[in-house]
């Protein structure tokens, strides 16, 4: 999916919601466990209940990998089941030397046919570039994450290799990496718990989409993310995982997930029309 | 495997060689492609031919994932096949928010039963700590990698959150993260192509093991790595992948792999006895 198509979906659905499929075999409703593929069945029902309210789905690879090859089969079926008009994100946080990153890119873009993959920046340009060689596919690079540990390195004051001082490591990451691609093939992860930093980030990259996790279970505010982070194209994909997919542990889990997704979508509709 | 056992194996085998299992379906000998599981069959023969010459095996996850769930089956069989007296490294470069890193830790330490996993530091303490909760299991944290892109962020001059200036980002990563664990459950990745930096790194962490990729295909020198990087316990695992496992593309691939592994092991024996 390219940028124009993504923006069209946001306008059509009045939503910039991404539903995180952090599907945990220990948390899904018990009645699904008797089925042949409980993880896929859970995802299928979540997707059926939410696909008109969200513009993206983000399976978190860790949850599928923890079940070994069977989890990967569930993932494969899930990605195929997601409607064509939804943007897909492999939340995998990969990044390695060039020939290995190229292999990861083929995995997520060719084998699974995801639209995008989250990538960790620590190993630099040649670890990210192989992901940018695919038409209408995206790198979503970690910039400022939503977790407590973001302070350890991302918030360090930095003088980069050109001798240019920026306030923080995550700004150096954005300023350096934005030259590797453009706003048609790169997005950045910026946590909702760091909404005040969005103003600074928007000065560096006014046109890029941002993937914003941290709404809900992690405590971020949708209104703040919009206030500091949106641009003329909307420019935001706001992710919610646990508070949608685990809204109920009973047989009504999909219905309750829809209710939670709708609350967020209704809030987004107001912001988009404001 | 704990540190004492690893050191015993190094002394017994007169080797600190790690064989990287970057097993690529496009590069393995053609005659294997007719078999049911060519990837596992290749690995099995490589392991049979080298296990007395090396102390560790490092499957690179990207290569297995690129084949979807079938690649993961090959990986699972490979890890089970590696002899108990060899240290196993999941070269996965994971790292995510706490609950997700915990899931990755269970994947690699419980499901696959690897001894260790490579972890990317960008997301900080709570992205690394969940991997340190497993007895006799190891985090191998990226510090200074062997690739060109290492200069982009790892070599940035940094002032950390305490206001303390260090020369380079990778030093801040080591100094900060060494407090999260100890030399019984953490190692660091330092590329052989950056051997001169090993002197500095050894001043910060004299006792930790270092995993050193970049010998062979990437151009690093074994003698330099030893000179600047060894400690009284040896303290090094030097990885070679492509130049061992792809030494021949014919039916003699395992025999040729053994020859290449033996060249390295013989060099290591001299260094260990020096």
Average pLDDT of chain A, as a whole number: 95
The pLDDT mean for chain B works out to 95
Across the range A115-134, mean pLDDT stands at 98
Q: Choose the closest CB to A76 out of B62, B69, B93.
A: B69
Are B88 and B56 a contacting pair, CB within 8 Å? yes
A247-268 tens-digit pLDDT: 999 999 999 999 999 999 999 9
Please tell me if residue A67 touches chain B, with a CB cutoff of 8 Å.
yes
pLDDT for B160:
66
Distance from CA of A133 to the nearest CA of B (A): 16
Task: Report CB contact under 8 Å: A147, B121.
Answer: no
User: Is pLDDT of A218 > 90?
Assistant: no
pTM metric for this prediction: 0.96
CA distance A141 to chain B (A): 11
Kindly report, residue by residue over A38-80, the tens digit of the pLDDT.
Answer: 999 999 999 999 999 999 999 999 999 999 999 999 999 999 9
* pLDDT higher than threshold 70 for residue B170: yes
- How sure is the predictor about A166, in pLDDT bands with cuts at 50, 70 and 90? low
Shortest Cα distance from B160 to chain A (angstroms)?
A: 5
The three-state secondary structure class of B163 is: coil
What is the ipTM metric for this complex? 0.95
Confidence check: pLDDT of A217 > 80: no
pLDDT score recorded for residue B267: 97
For residue B2, pLDDT over 70 is answered with yes
The pLDDT tens digits for B23-39 are 999 999 999 999 999 99
Q: Using alpha carbons, list the distances in angstroms from residue A162 to A172, A174, B148, B171.
A: 11, 15, 16, 19
Which residues of chain A does B106 touch, with a Cβ-Cβ cutoff of 8 Å? 66
Do B180 and B119 form a contact (C-beta atoms < 8 A)?
no
Q: How far is A93 from chain B (nearest CA, A)?
A: 7
Band of the pLDDT at A159, cuts 50, 70, 90? confident
Strands A157-159 and B157-159 come out as: antiparallel
Of B66, B126, B153, the CB nearest to A103: B66
Among left, alpha and beta (phi > 0; psi -120 to 50; other), residue B36 is alpha
Asked if the model's pLDDT at residue A144 lies above 80, the reply is yes
- Write down the pLDDT at residue A194: 78
CA A76/CA A110 separation, integer angstroms = 12
**pLDDT given for residue B215 in this prediction:** 85
* Catalytic (active site) residue A269: no
pLDDT band at A19 (very low <50, low <70, confident <90, very high): very high
Q: What is the pLDDT of residue A211?
A: 98
Closest CA to A243 of A222, A224, A228, A225: A222
Question: Pick from B257, B182, B184, B196: which is nearest to B224 by CA?
Answer: B196
Question: Between residues 171 and 230 of chain A, which touch chain B (CB distance below 8 Å)?
Answer: 172-173, 176, 218
- Residue B109, classed as helix, strand or coil, is helix
Q: Would you call B153 and A147 a contact, using CB atoms and an 8 Å cutoff?
A: no
**Interface touch B72/A68, C-beta < 8 Å:** yes
Counting residues of chain B whose pLDDT is more than 90, the rounded percentage is 90
Q: Mean per-residue pLDDT for B55-75? A: 98
Q: How does pLDDT run across A77-93, given as a tens digit for each residue?
A: 999 999 999 999 999 99
Least confident of A154-158, B47-51, B116-120: A154-158
Record: contact B153-A146, CB cut-off 8 A? no
Mean pLDDT of A227-254: 96
> A143 with A174: CB under 8 angstroms?
yes
* Record: fold of B3-273: TIM Barrel (3.20.20)
Q: Is the pLDDT of residue A162 over 80?
A: no
Helices B69-81 & A69-81, crossing angle to 10 degrees?
170
Distance from the B120 Cα atom to the nearest Cα atom in chain A, whole angstroms: 7
Choosing from B14, B27, B77, B93, which is the catalytic residue? B93
| Chain centre distance of CA A101 | 19
Residue B204's contacts (CB-CB under 8 Å, 6 or more residues apart) are B171, B174, B175, B178
Are A103 and B66 in contact by the 8 Å Cβ rule? The answer is yes
* Cα angle A95, A100, A105; round to 5: 70
Query: Of chain B residues 223-242, which have a CB less than 8 A from chain A?
Result: none
Catalytic residue, candidates A3, A4, A13, A93: A93
3-state secondary structure of A239: strand
Q: Does A164 touch chain B (CB under 8 A)?
A: no
- For residue A167, what pLDDT band results from cuts at 50, 70 and 90? confident
Q: Given this model, what pLDDT does residue A219 score?
A: 77
pLDDT at residue B77 tops 70: yes
Chain B residues with CB inside 8 Å of A69's CB?
69-70, 72-73, 76
Residues recorded for chain B:
274
pLDDT at B46 over 90: yes
> CA–CA separation, B7 vs B16, rounded Å?
9
Considering only CB atoms, B153 lies closest to which of A100, A149, A173, namely A173
Q: Do B151 and A65 touch (CB under 8 A)?
A: no
Mutation for testing the A interface, residue in B80, B144, B147 having most A CBs under 10 Å: B147
pLDDT tens readout for residues B195-230: 779 999 999 999 999 999 988 767 788 999 999 999
SS3 state at A65: helix
């Amino acid at each position: 999916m390219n940028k124009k198509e993504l923006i069209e979906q946001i306008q059509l659905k009045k939503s910039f919601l991404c539903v995180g499929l952090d599907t945990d075999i220990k948390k899904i409703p018990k009645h699904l466990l008797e089925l042949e593929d409980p993880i896929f069945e859970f995802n299928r029902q979540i997707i059926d209940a939410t696909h008109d309210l969200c513009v993206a789905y983000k399976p978190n690879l860790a949850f599928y990998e923890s079940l070994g090859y069977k989890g990967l089969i569930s993932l494969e079926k899930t990605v195929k089941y997601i409607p064509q008009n939804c943007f897909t994100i492999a939340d995998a946080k990969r990044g390695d030397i060039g020939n290995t990153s190229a292999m990861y890119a083929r995995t997520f873009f060719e084998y699974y046919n995801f639209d995008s993959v989250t990538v960790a920046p620590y190993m630099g340009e040649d670890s990210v570039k192989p992901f940018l060689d695919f038409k209408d596919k995206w790198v979503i690079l970690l910039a400022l994450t939503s977790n407590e540990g973001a302070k350890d390195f991302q918030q360090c004051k930095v003088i980069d290799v050109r001798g240019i001082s920026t306030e923080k490591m995550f700004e150096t990451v954005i300023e350096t990496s934005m030259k590797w691609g453009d706003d048609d093939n790169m997005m950045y992860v910026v946590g909702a718990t760091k909404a005040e930093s969005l103003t600074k980030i928007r000065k560096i990259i006014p046109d890029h989409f941002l993937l914003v996790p941290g709404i809900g279970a992690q405590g971020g505010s949708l209104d703040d993310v919009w206030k500091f982070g949106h641009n003329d194209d909307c420019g935001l994909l706001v992710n919610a995982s646990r508070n949608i997919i685990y809204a109920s542990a009973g047989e009504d889990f999909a219905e309750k997930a829809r209710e939670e997704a709708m609350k967020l979508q209704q809030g987004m509709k107001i912001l988009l029309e404001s």
